[in-house]
Amino acid sequence: MKTVPALPAGGPSATVRRRATAPFGAAVAAAAAVGRLVVQPRMGFPDVPGMQAGLQAVHAADATTVGTITLDSYTRVGDHASARKALDDGSDLNGFPIVAHGAGTTRRMIGAVGASADFAIQVRHGSPLPLGIVQALLDAGLDATEGGPVSYCLPYSRTPLARAVDAWADSCELLADQVEGAHLESFGGCMLGQLCPPGLLVALSLLEGIFFRQHGLRSVSLSYAQGTSFGQDVDAIGALRRLAGEFLGDLQWHVVLYTYMGVFPRTPAGALSLLRDSAVLAAVTGTERMIVKTPAEAHRIPTVADNIQALEEAARSAEAAAGLSPGLLGLDAGTARGDNPVYAEARALVDAVLHLDADVGKALLQAFAKGYLDVPYCLHADNAQRSRSGIAPDGTLQWLSVGSMPLPPLNAASGTGAQRLRADDFLDMLSYVQRRYDDAALEELPTDTPRTPLPTSLAKD
């Protein structure tokens, strides 16, 4: 864990722009130094009053928070005229059109939130070609965003990977050049939201972090999305931290955990239980920041109030679990520090990719072309599509086929018979977490007993 808010020396001599917010990387480091989990929503509203009220509510929440400005779909694809027209017509947009509003308007809004003093804000978008968005957020006095050449290209776009790599290289350099200590988060730990085994998630997140550093960033975060097994998630985050220390030790870095990104529980109790488990996971693993989901998730777009409730629930759960160690949960301490199978798998992938070319961008392109990296169930034309994965009987995510990835071949002899992945079993896997948490919630009778520090779903593991 980084405890020094100051940036390590060695960064490029940046043209220092005046920030309108607290520095994002330093804000998370400062919270981590006093043992507080930073919690963050997903949130984007089209109009300034709505966006400003959302940011103010997050700032005022009873938790250590950073704010989010999620951009709309038109802005993500660079269609700013349509975003402007929607604003003029009063039509709804699914996020904040930062380019259409203009830098002055956004900067004034952030000023009204009081962000310059102690509130950091991240811009979230989802674009494989983010240069215009990065320019707009810099113009507005913001210093943090997220994504990556792989993680914002393969899952949701038809953009060729080579174009995304070039665009992200330019965007990283602009960000690093314009603001000292600008922060960039890799979304690589969240590929497709579910069913990707953690070794590949950890490797992709780290490789994007190395890519960011190669293009000048000095403050980065690596992501990981909560999976299907608490024990395997502890291993994965331990592996990610160990690799970050080994490869990015000269940077200011932290880990960001995403509450489960797949099909979400429908019952309020099941959804809250899953959210609390993610907060406990963050606390036990020393994770610095967490992006929450809300009980409204399975039904509608969450309101500000939904988000505040989720942020505060997550903060309370993390505080309650602060004294828990992996050992107290029956987990091996060495495994939790990264001496585990997820580390071995991620390290094998990372080493194979880095050996392909000294330029990480070129190495990533070659790795996908050769199938050394192969995201299961990702239909992008630049993904080899020969890997498949599934949920094992013990609840962990495992490979069903590794394709050409440099991983140990699967031992078919240990199998129970040569059966292929059936479509119905695939559907069952997609809703595995939803079913598990909803079933547990429906089985439980309401009681007035105080909540134990160990969520029920963990105790059952």
Partner 1 sequence: MYPPAPTGDALPDARQGGGQRVLVSSVSSDSHTWNLVFLQLMLEELGHEVINIGSCVPDDLLIAECRRTSPDMVVISSVNGHGHLDGRRLIARLRAEPDLSALPVVIGGKLGTRGAQNRAHGPELIAAGFDAVFEDTAGVAPFRRYLEDAARPVLESAGPARPALAATGDPR
CB of residue 260 to partner 1, shortest distance in Å: 15
Sign of the alpha-carbon torsion through 60, 30, 17, 251: negative
Least CB distance to partner 1 at residue 400 (A): 4
**Is residue 4 at the binding interface for partner 1, with CB under 8 A as the rule?**
no
Cβ-based nearer residue to partner 1, 36 or 388: 388
Task: Decide: 418 and 412 in contact? Cβ < 8 Å.
Answer: yes
Task: Give the shortest CB-198-to-partner 1 separation in angstroms.
Answer: 16
- Give exposure, 27-50, as e/b (b: 16+ Cβ within 10 Å): bbbbbbeeebbbbbbbbbbbebee
Q: Is 224 in the site for partner 1 (CB under 8 A)?
A: no
Instruction: State yes or no: residue 401 binds partner 1 (CB under 8 A).
Output: yes
388 binds partner 1 (CB under 8 A): yes
Report how many residues bind partner 1 under the rule CB under 8 A: 36
To partner 1, the closest distance from the beta carbon of 70 in angstroms equals 16
Based on the shown chain and the rule CB under 8 A, indicate whether residue 301 belongs to the binding site for partner 1.
no
Q: How far is the CB of 262 from partner 1 (least distance, A)?
A: 9
**Cβ nearer to partner 1, comparing 330 with 417:** 417
Q: Which of 141, 181, 390, 455 binds partner 1 (CB under 8 A)?
A: 390
With CB under 8 A as the contact rule, the residue among 168, 399, 432, 437 that binds partner 1 is: 399
Q: Decide: 216 and 11 in contact? Cβ < 8 Å.
A: yes
Residues 81-100 that bind partner 1 (CB under 8 A): none
> x-or-dash pattern for partner 1, window 411-450, by CB under 8 A?
-x-xxxxxxxxxx--xx--x--------------------
- Minimum Å distance from CB 416 to partner 1? 7
Question: Which of the residues 151 through 190 are near partner 1 (CB under 8 A)?
Answer: 155-158
Contact 143, 23 (CB under 8 A): yes
To the nearest whole angstrom, how small is the minimum distance from the Cβ of residue 348 to partner 1?
Answer: 18
- Write out the two tokens for 192: 């497709």
Residue 16 in contact with partner 1, rule: CB under 8 A: no
With binding defined as CB under 8 A, does residue 400 bind partner 1?
Answer: yes
- Binding status of residue 378 toward partner 1 by CB under 8 A: yes
Contact flag: residue 410 with partner 1 (CB under 8 A) = yes
Q: Judged by CB under 8 A, which of 321, 380, 433, 437 binds partner 1?
A: 380
Task: Return residues touching partner 1 (CB under 8 A).
Answer: 155-158, 192, 377-381, 385-386, 388, 390, 392-393, 398-401, 403, 410, 412, 414-423, 426-427, 430
